[in-house]
């Protein structure tokens, strides 16, 4: 007797995406999660807030003619998993052959520019951002936690010195590293779709 199960394209895609995200974030450092406590929502929110605060700090140091590249480098090292794992990073305004930023250097360039390998980068973090906030509004609870991996989806709101605000759609995936810290292993940002454009 043959049993047939009908799956919608959407449910198959959703299940496949979840597996890709979870497998893409696994590395030797995260494979042995028995010694690490489970990720909490509070930790995920703290990591997202640190990302927002870091963007403002880069802008502030840039405006003061300080070493904003060092601040950006520290942000990447603190919040992205380039050192111990693999990072899927698709920035909002990246395009062409440099759409995806699988390397630490590519991520730093996106934030502050100045890398000949990424001549299109003017430095997203240098836009004099004075406030950056986020929400996880993709569902009633826009945070999913699966062991040592946490997924968030929602928006980031960026306000500049003129009071003008931009909003981007974002998906963040964090994993707990061997040092216990949460770091991004997936970061996808995009501008909201506007059918009028």
Rounded distance, CA 120 to CA 110, Å?
Answer: 9
Unique residue bearing structure tokens 């609870």: 141
- Cα angle 195, 133, 189 (rounded to 5 degrees) comes to 45
- Domains annotated on the chain, with CATH: 38-190 (3.10.450.50)
Of 68, 46, 45, nearest to 57 by C-alpha is 68
Q: What pLDDT was estimated at residue 16?
A: 41
DSSP class of residue 45? H
Kindly state the tokens that stand for 106: 């590519």
CA distance 78 to 166: 25
SS3 at position 43: helix
Round to whole Å and give the CA distance between 99 and 120: 11
pLDDT, tens only, 75-124: 999 999 999 999 999 999 999 999 999 999 999 999 999 999 999 999 99
What pLDDT digit, counting tens, does each position of 125-180 carry? Answer: 999 999 999 999 887 778 999 988 999 999 999 999 999 999 999 999 999 988 99
């Amino acid at each position: 007797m043959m049993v047939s199960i009908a799956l919608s394209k959407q449910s198959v895609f959703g299940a496949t995406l979840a597996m890709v995200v979870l497998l893409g974030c696994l590395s030797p450092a995260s494979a042995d999660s028995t010694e690490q406590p489970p990720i909490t929502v509070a930790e995920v929110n703290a990591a997202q807030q640190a990302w927002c605060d870091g963007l403002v700090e880069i802008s502030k140091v840039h405006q003061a003619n300080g070493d904003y590249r060092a601040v950006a480098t520290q942000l990447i090292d603190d919040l992205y998993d380039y050192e111990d794992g693999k990072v899927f990073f698709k920035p909002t305004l990246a395009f062409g052959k440099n759409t995806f930023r699988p390397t630490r250097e590519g991520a730093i360039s996106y934030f502050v520019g100045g890398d000949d390998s990424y001549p299109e980068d003017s430095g997203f973090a240098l836009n004099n951002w004075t406030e950056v906030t986020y929400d996880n509004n993709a569902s009633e609870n826009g945070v999913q936690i699966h062991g040592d991996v946490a997924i968030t989806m929602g928006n980031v709101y960026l306000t500049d010195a003129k009071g003008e605000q931009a909003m981007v759609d974002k998906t963040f995936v964090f994993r707990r590293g061997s040092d216990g810290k949460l770091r991004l292993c997936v970061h996808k940002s995009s501008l909201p779709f506007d059918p009028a454009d």
